[in-house]
Amino acid sequence: MASATIPSTAFDFLEKLRRYNDRNWFTANKTHYQQQATYITAFADSLLKALNKHDVIETPSGAKSLYRIYRDVRFSKDKTPFSTYWGGRFKRAGKQRRGGYYYHLEPGDKSFVLCGFWGPSTPDLKLIREDIAFDPSPFRKIVNHRKFVSNFGQLQGEQLKTSPKGYDPTHAAIDLLRYKQFLVMRRFTDKEVLSGNFLQLADQAFQGMRPFLDYMSELLSVDANGFPDRP
């Protein structure tokens, strides 16, 4: 389907934007940007439709998932005004479905899809660590599963250099307890992204992330004593 395919022109535009990342160039080429954005939006619509066949997504449309290309440079050392990738996020619906799905499309074999918890709140991080400390085997079973490793490699995310406060540095699961972020990522080459079956590849990756999301959703829907935290 044409609507599910990302054309090479979408990456060509980003390559030029990387080279001429200023407002004058963008203004002169805004019509070109808008045309390429319609292709990405159509792809995101198709991906949303595929996701809703095996999950429940709150994000209403592909357009609503897409991040703005205009960067917020107020607190960044990098003052270039525009992002040089296409990216967006789908939020799972309902309080019991935690986490979401993210897509990042960037030339130079830098594309990926991702799910997880980029900046878990202090209460959420406490619940995750307490559960792992009590019994790491359910989580290890997920991240060490053959399909998980073949699709995603290993768990991604920032880690503490030392053990978190209150945890024994010799704990058998200290490698997991050091995580501050919990991310699952599948990378793609430009050839894969621009192929006719990238929609299927991205959706298959998202489906493969579900055991991780289901584990986290169940864990983060109870309090530290294992009782439901929300009605």
Residue type, 97: R
For the segment 167-184, the average pLDDT, to the nearest whole number, is 96
Identify whether 214 is part of a domain: yes
Identify whether 225 is part of a domain: no
Q: Which of 222, 217, 215, 129 is nearest to 179 (CA)?
A: 129
Whose tokens are 């919990």? That residue is 182
The whole-chain average pLDDT of the chain stands at: 92
Tell whether pTM > 0.95. no
Identify whether 172 is part of a domain: yes
For residue range 193-231, list pLDDT tens digits in order.
Answer: 999 999 999 999 999 999 999 999 999 886 555 545 544
Residues, the chain, total? 231
Identify whether 171 is part of a domain: yes
Distance, CA of 224 to CA of 219 (rounded, Å): 9
Q: Which of 32-46, 100-114, 175-189, 216-230 has the weakest average pLDDT?
A: 216-230
Helices 8-19, 30-51: axis angle to 10 degrees equals: 130
For residue 143, give its domain range: 2-219
Identify whether 228 is part of a domain: no
Q: At a CB cut-off of 8 Å and minimum separation 6, what does 34 contact?
A: none
Q: Is the pLDDT confidence value at 45 over 70?
A: yes
For the segment 157-176, the average pLDDT, to the nearest whole number, is 94
Total of domains in the chain? 1
- The SS3 call for residue 179 is strand
Q: Is the pLDDT confidence value at 159 over 80?
A: yes
CB atoms within 10 A of CB 230: 10
Distances (CA, A) of 161 to 36, 134, 154, 176, 230: 42, 21, 18, 12, 34
Residue type, 44: A
Model pLDDT, residue 3: 55
For residue range 122-136, list pLDDT tens digits in order.
Answer: 999 999 999 999 999
Q: Is the pLDDT confidence value at 35 over 90?
A: yes
